[in-house]
Structure 1
Amino acid sequence: MFRGPRSVASHVLIVLGAVVALVVAVALVTAYVQATRLVEDAAATRVTDVARAIASTDDVREGLASPDPASELRDFIERGRQATQTDFIVVMSPDGIRYTHPNPDLIGQHFLGTIADAQAGGTVIEQYTGTLGPSTRAVVPVLVDNEVKGLVSVGIHQSRVGEQLTRTLPQALLPGLAAAGVATLGAAVVGQRVRRQTLGLNATELRRLHDHHEAVLHAVREGLVITDEKGRVQVVNDEARRLLDLPPDAVGREASDLGLAPDLAALLAGREQHVDVPHASGGRVLLVSSDVVQRQGRAVATLTTLRDRTELEALTGRLNTTQSLADALHAQAHEAANRLHTVVTLIELGRPDDAVAFATDELRASQRHGEAIAAALEDPAVAALVIGKSSQAAERGATLDVDPDAHLPAGLLPSGAVVTILGNLIDNALDAVAGQPGGSEKAVLVDAQASDSVVTLTVADTGP
């Protein structure tokens, strides 16, 4: 059966398991070596102490000085061996001829082992295979008036040292085995955590997911910002950096520390859903949408998208301006048509003098009104808008005038912006007075004042 590549968590668990096994194996070997050394050192220390104690007794000194050392020492040495629980105690001459031995047949023969240092007054400690098998032994001199009168060797079989080691090993190895269990449990916990965080994906799948993530992140034309549960920016694409003018180190910082407007920063880090909320940032008009990212029913992040509406808003403003001017021209054309029909009718009725007087009076009134507006509003586009709106107001039974003290020099503000703002204000005012009952005054007054870098546009009406 085909099996796909192992997940990242499986690789981590395998590596951790191998490391744990290696560390535990080294620890166990080290513990075994240390335990072996401790047991052997304890055995060496024990036989050395026993040998020195036996060599310092008067019974041994007197026995060595007697005519028959073997007979004198045999019972004493055997009692000492049993009391000290050693395997053999051999008393010998300075030349190494045995006086005592567990095997009586070997008494009188030369001692097998190293005795040179003991003959010189020192101590010999060694592991040696003699007549009784492998043993740990010590050889010390018997000194009388600083003169070596004999030698004493005490030994313990290696089998007994091994038994002691066997009894000691559990105590030495138990901590290592406990550490192995704890390490194995820790490796399993880490592996499970890695599996949960990587969603059980293998390395190839994670690499593919990362590549797709990077491609999508930088390909979308909308700004994209992702913050974690603490409000820190985790992901931000190039478009979002441009729209919000974010610093290079934005990732990892809290949204409130990025120099954004407080309401926009709160939206980026919030936990509520928003759709196309307008925000102004850096001279741009942005539509901001956000939603909460959940995993297993728990909110883990907030995803926010940003769309630049600056150009669309500018085009909409221009369209509104054009529409306002078209409406004003239509109103003027309609008013001119009415006047022309009146003049033609007067002529047809044989009253040319009245026709001339009517046309002259209307022309003068229109010129005075237009000149007054042009003098107050020096921008031709703004003046044309107000003149057109005056005709539109007249059609609706209202009057539109400019305050005598109004003055707006040309070039202080973009014509399009002033036309859009002032046109909307006048339209609102005309709508307000249009609802007035018959006989009520329906008047709209436009005022414009400029001082230093501040321009104030005011539209007053007699509506409710």
Structure 2
Amino acid sequence: MKKSKLSLQAIIIIFVCIVVALSLGITDLIISKRITSSVEDTEKEKALNVAKMVSLSPLVIDGLERSTNISEIQAFANQIKDKTNVNFVVVMDMKGIRLSHPDPSEVGKLFRGGDEGPVLQGKEYVSISKGILGPSMRAFTPIKNSQGKQVGAVAVGISLENVTMAVHKGRMGMVIGTLIGLLIGVVGAVGLARYIKKILLGLEPPAIARLLEERSSMLQSVREGIIAIDQGGKITLVNRAARKLFKKAGLEENPMGMNIEEYLPETRLTRIVKSGKTEINQEQNLHGVTILVNTVPVVVKNQPVGVIATFRDKTEVQVLAEQLTGVRNYADALRAQAHEFMNKLHVILGLVRTEQYDALANYVSETVNHRETEMGFMMKKIQDPVLAGFLIGKLSFARESGASLLFDCASKIPKPANPEITHELITIIGNLFDNAMDAIADSPNKKVDLKLDYAEDILTIEVKDTGVGMTKSLQNKILDKGFSTKGDNRGFGLYLLAQAIEKLEGDMIISSKPGKGTNFAVYIPYKAEDEQND
């Protein structure tokens, strides 16, 4: 991106100054024309009024009719000239002979200028011409007696220099106003530029554009869905991952500008705007798609102005969790088998050193046969290799922990038609087994029974332990998220167990009494792979 040589503040100041200057300049031009026209009209009207006043004077009319009192007409005309501040007042007879003039020597001579002809024919008008006193604006009015007969004419002149000065004086006020307006515009431009600069945190447009591009790329690249709303509940941001998840849920892919409550009626985002409280890992159902939502209010000056929510398909989270659980179980199984193998090596070493070879042969044979029998039984009964391997690991772990694990499988368990069921079963069996192992940790009789049965498309899982047992009130709480009697950062295993059972549309029965152990019975709808193919 090409960087501008001028700062944002400089651009705003220059732009505002240019706009103000052009606006005031055009206004000045228009008003100046009107002022000029108004001043000229005023001067014309003034000259005509003076001329009419003189033409109606009995002294002037009587002097023209009788050709007497010429000196009185001269004195009267000059008096009117001085009082009205005009350049000249000239009274003439029908031959164009002056009866008055500012210069007494011009009295009795013909009117000069060449524009007096129409007034001697009875017309009233204004003209511009040059006479003895220089260029002037002249108002001509005929003089008539009481019978309406024209007996002469009067010409009133206003110097063009005076007209120009009047126009200039009228325009000066406009020029001063323009300059003041321009100065105010400059000051306003500087203030506006500084205010905008403050709002933008001192960033220049290239930096803002770069941040916007980086923000957009970041939002579109993350795998979590992101949606933001303003204070009124209007959706202002939706990234690519969110649109993909909305499409999966059968919703409109691009809800920009829509109201969040109309688009997602069950959402809690609008409540977050009002409460201003953060919510973490809240489950929500989108037309059959379960998502985990984290919502954070956007706070400006201690006031919530919106909400940003990030969410992800719970199935993906569960797959990751199960993968981690599988790795942990695999490691536990390897550790248990390593311990068990070391113990057997110690027995073999002792028999070798004591040279009891017959006993050694019997022990090795018995160990191999036991392992083969256990492996064979498990693989024969459990046709899903993932689930079979998981259960073998649990058997080894129980032996390594000093517990007695009795595994019973009354019928063959076929592979499920939907491979995802295996992940859920590992979650269910794993959490039931771990919970049972924790329950017998302090029990003198460490025994866990694990039974599986499959009949009429129902898989039954039963885990019984000889632990301390539970009260009725405790049984009502153990499935709550975060509840545990074993310390902090616990209480998620049985919660995930309940979620997995709910997802598979199964059911669970808990039987327990204090000091009598606990029995979990889980019933899961289970379609076999061969049945699905049929």
Normalising by structure 2, report the TM-score: 0.60
User: Could you tell me which residue of structure 2 aligns to residue 214 of structure 1?
Assistant: 213
Q: Is the 8 A contact 1:379 1:411 kept in 2?
A: no
Matched AA of 1:94: M
- CA-to-partner distance for each residue in 1:411-453, whole Å, 9 max, x for gaps? 3663422332233233224214423533598656668857999
Please tell me whether residue 316 in structure 1 is matched to residue 317 in structure 2. Answer: no
2:197 alignment partner, one of 195, 198, 201? 195
The percent of aligned pairs where both chains have the same amino acid is 20
Could you say if the C-alpha distance between residues 181 and 207 of structure 1 is closer, same or farther in structure 2, counting changes exceeding 3 Å? Answer: closer
CA drift of 1:217 comes to 4.6
Equivalent residue number for residue 498 of structure 2: none
Q: Is residue 20 of structure 1 aligned with residue 20 of structure 2?
A: yes
1:326-341 correspondence runs (5 A): none
Report the CA distance between 1:43 and its aligned residue.
1.3
Q: Distance in 1 between matches of 2:425 and 2:124?
A: 116
Give the secondary structure class of the aligned counterpart of 2:111.
Answer: coil
1:456 is matched with 506
Q: Give, in whole Å, the separation in 2 of the partners of 1:170 and 1:94.
A: 43
Tell me the TM-score normalized by structure 1: 0.67
The answer (yes or no) to whether the contact 1:93–1:149 under 8 Å persists in 2 is: yes
Per-residue displacement from partner, 1:2-53 (whole Å, max 9, x unpaired)? xx92213212311221222232233334333322322221111011112112
Matched-pair contact (CA < 8 Å) for 2:9–2:190: no
Matches within 5 A, 1:39-188: 39-68=39-68, 70-71=70-71, 73-113=73-113, 114-144=115-145, 145-165=147-167, 168-169=170-171, 171-173=173-175, 175-188=177-190
Question: Residues 202-281 of structure 1 correspond to what in structure 2 (within 5 A)?
Answer: 206-207=205-206, 210=209, 214=213, 217-218=216-217, 221-223=221-223, 230=231, 238=240, 241-242=243-244, 249=254, 259=264, 262=267
User: Which one is further off, 405-414 or 95-104?
Assistant: 405-414
Tell me the equivalent position of 2:420: 414
Moved more, 382-391 or 114-123: 382-391
- Aligned counterparts, 1:435-454, within 5 A: 435-438=441-444, 449=458
Change (3 A) 1:378 1:307: closer
**Aligned partners of 1:261 and 1:247: how far apart in 2?**
16
User: Does the alignment pair 1:431 with 2:437?
Assistant: yes
- Helix, strand or coil: the match of 1:435? coil
Q: What is the distance in 1 between the residues matched to 2:253 and 2:421?
A: 38
Aligned-pair CA distance for 1:140: 0.7
How much is the aligned-residue C-alpha RMSD, in angstroms?
5.8
2:234–2:257 contact (8 Å) kept in structure 1: yes
TM-superposition CA deviations, 1:152-173 (whole Å, max 9, x none): 1112233444554455445545
Question: What is the count of residue pairs matched by the alignment?
Answer: 435
Distance change (3 Å), C-alpha of 1:177 and 1:73: same
TM-superposed deviation, 1:184: 2.5
Structure 1 gap ranges (5+): 338-347, 350-357
Report the Cα distance in structure 2 between the residues aligned to 1:286 and 1:146, rounded to whole angstroms. Answer: 107
Structure 1 pair 265/284, CA: closer, same or farther in 2 (3 Å)?
farther
Aligned residues of 1:401 and 1:445 also touching (Cα < 8 A): yes
Contact preservation (8 Å) 2:273, 2:305 = no
Q: Deviations over 1:124-162 (max 9, x none)?
A: 212333212233221011124343221111122334445
Q: 1:211 to 1:433 in 2, by over 3 A?
A: closer
The one of the two structures with greater contact order (alpha-carbon pairs below 8 A, sep at least 6) is: 1
| CA distance 1:12–1:299, change in 2 (3 Å) | farther
Which deviates more, 37-46 or 226-235?
A: 226-235
> Are the equivalent residues in 2 in contact too, given 1:92–1:98 (CA < 8 A)?
yes
Cα distance in 2 for residues equivalent to 1:432 and 1:67: 143
Secondary structure of the corresponding residue to residue 75 of structure 1: helix
Q: C-alpha distance in 1, partners of 2:227/2:7?
A: 27
Residue 123 of structure 1: CA displacement? 1.2
Q: 1:235 to 1:185 in 2, by over 3 A?
A: farther
Shift in CA distance, 333/126, structure 1 to aligned 2, threshold 3 Å: same
Structure 2 stretches lacking a partner, 5+ long? 346-357, 360-365, 461-501, 520-534
What residue identity is the alignment partner of 1:316?
L
Match for 1:210: what amino acid?
A
Tell me if 1:30 matches 2:38: no
Give the whole-Å Cα distance in 1 for the aligned partners of 2:332 and 2:291.
23
- AA aligned to 2:431 is L
SS in structure 1 of the partner of residue 67 of structure 2: coil
Find the aligned partners of 2:334 and 2:508 in 1 and give their Cα distance. Answer: 23
User: Secondary structure in 2 aligned to 1:68?
Assistant: coil
The code of the aligned residue for 1:456 comes to G
8 Å CA contact retained: 1:227, 1:234: yes
2:506 alignment partner, SS class: strand
Partner Cα distance (1:441, 1:316) in 2: 27
| 1:238–1:211 CA distance, 2 compared to 1 (3 A) | farther
Report the AA paired with residue 65 of structure 2.
Answer: A
1:384–1:330 CA distance, 2 compared to 1 (3 A): farther
Name the CA distance, whole Å, in 1 between partners of 2:505 and 2:338: 29
